[in-house]
Amino acid sequence: MKLWGGRFRGKTDELVERFNASLPFDRRLYREDIEGSVAHARMLGKQGILSEKDAESIIRGLYGILSDIEGGRLVIEGDSEDIHSFIEAELTKRIGEAGKRLHTGRSRNDQVALDMKLCTREELDRMKEELAELIGVLTELMERHRESYMPGFTHLQKAQPTTLAHHLGAYREMFRRDRSRLSDCRNRLNESPLGAGAFAGTSYPLDREMTASELGFDRASENSMDSVSDRDYLLEYLFDLSLIAMHLSRLSEELILWNSNEYRFLRLSDAYSTGSSIMPQKKNPDIAELIRGKCGRVYGDLFALLTVMKGLPLAYNKDMQEDKEAAFDAMDTVRDSVRLMSGMLKTIEWDTERMRESAKRGFSNATDVADYLVGKGIPFRTAHGIVGELVLYCEGKGCSLDELSLPEFKAICPEIEDDIYGEISLESCVKKRRTKGAPGAL
């Protein structure tokens, strides 16, 4: 069914039909399309634009279509151009002429803008729930590993000792910020475009605030031209999803490193690993690698829509049909990635002894030796040089700083006493760092 055929006499080219159609991907908007149409019909009846009888018939018919789609009795297929055409054609088939009155005072431009906003809002709320679950998993792990000591890194080199709780807490902060950004995005998108028409409103006495309220929006949008041409909310959501994907990718990278034979800080569950077709000993972190890899795909979805929008004059242009596939792909990809990360973290076995031993190696307590010398009255820059000499000596001997004997310490710095061993133990190094946000403050 076409909603625009009256002006045309010739037959549309078959390739044009396929190229123009969006039903194969916008079919997932059936619920939002019906929800918006119900609100529109109810408002038309209240305003006297439609008779109450027609409005009630339309609403019953729409709910019947929704029930049949969700019950598997009606399949969304055929030669309809889009989901809007499909539902209107099905409605007309069921209730007759009244179905043709549903589109009064409405354009597909404000209709599709509404459907995408409703879909984005629902997906956004679902993503917030998924992130809350992931944050909960990280919080539980932090509670369990407050005293699981490990090396912290800068430049992928051991830097200072920390705890697994502190390390995972950094990711918790990232995902907390992600949730906050989603809330901001939701606040901005929550204006209803319904009633904007093609771009210049309509001569019918629509009550736009009524439909906005019924659909859960804070208000109706202010400018009808902007209402149908705005995709800022979708771009903002895709940017938020890109940041989430980036944070997931960073966490995946660390899990992949820590799972390697060189680190062995953790063991991934079989449920989140795969094997090799030729090397029977392999247990590969493929899910973490896929989460890392799919980050680039989500970036691509964002830039695809940015590129579509960058040169469009006001108001609506058919180019905007290209918003859906990229948006749906990013939504599905990041939602699955967050779920998989939550499940993967829940099932990891952490080798805390291996982490502890690693923290003892690599001179991660060198800064604490310098701080100890400062406490003995030595200027920090001088202390820094002394500790450098101690590290060189240890490298030549093949030992850690806390394995040096007191005479060896004194040979390089006479001010060192036997109290140094307590000052540079892993526990002491971590627990002394009690400034806000440091591992000892957890």
As annotated, the active-site residues are: 155, 276
Provide CB contacts within 8 A for 109, sequence distance 6+: 196, 197, 198, 199, 228, 315, 316
Provide CB contacts within 8 A for 331, sequence distance 6+: 123, 127, 241
Place of tokens 């001179």: 363
The answer to whether residues 324 and 116 touch, using CB atoms and an 8 Å cutoff, is yes
Q: What is the DSSP letter of 284?
A: B
Residue 221 sits at the vertex; the CA angle it makes with 183 and 230, to the nearest 5 degrees, is 75
Q: Of 282, 290, 279, whose CA–CA distance to 255 is shortest?
A: 290
Q: Are strands 266-267 and 349-350 parallel, antiparallel or unpaired?
A: antiparallel
Torsions phi, psi for 192 (to 5 deg) = -85, 130
The answer to whether residues 300 and 212 touch, using CB atoms and an 8 Å cutoff, is no
Torsions phi, psi for 266 (to 5 deg) = -150, 165
Helices (H), 145-231: 164-189, 208-214, 224-229
The DSSP string of 46-68 is HTTSS-HHHHHHHHHHHHHHHHH
Partnered with residue 151 across adjacent β-strands are 161
Place of tokens 């979708």: 234
The answer to whether residues 239 and 326 touch, using CB atoms and an 8 Å cutoff, is no
Where does residue 230 fall: left (phi above 0), alpha (psi -120 to 50 degrees), or beta otherwise? beta
Please measure the distance between the N-terminal and C-terminal CA atoms of the chain and give it in whole angstroms. 63
> Residue 290 is which amino acid?
L
The answer to whether residues 120 and 305 touch, using CB atoms and an 8 Å cutoff, is no
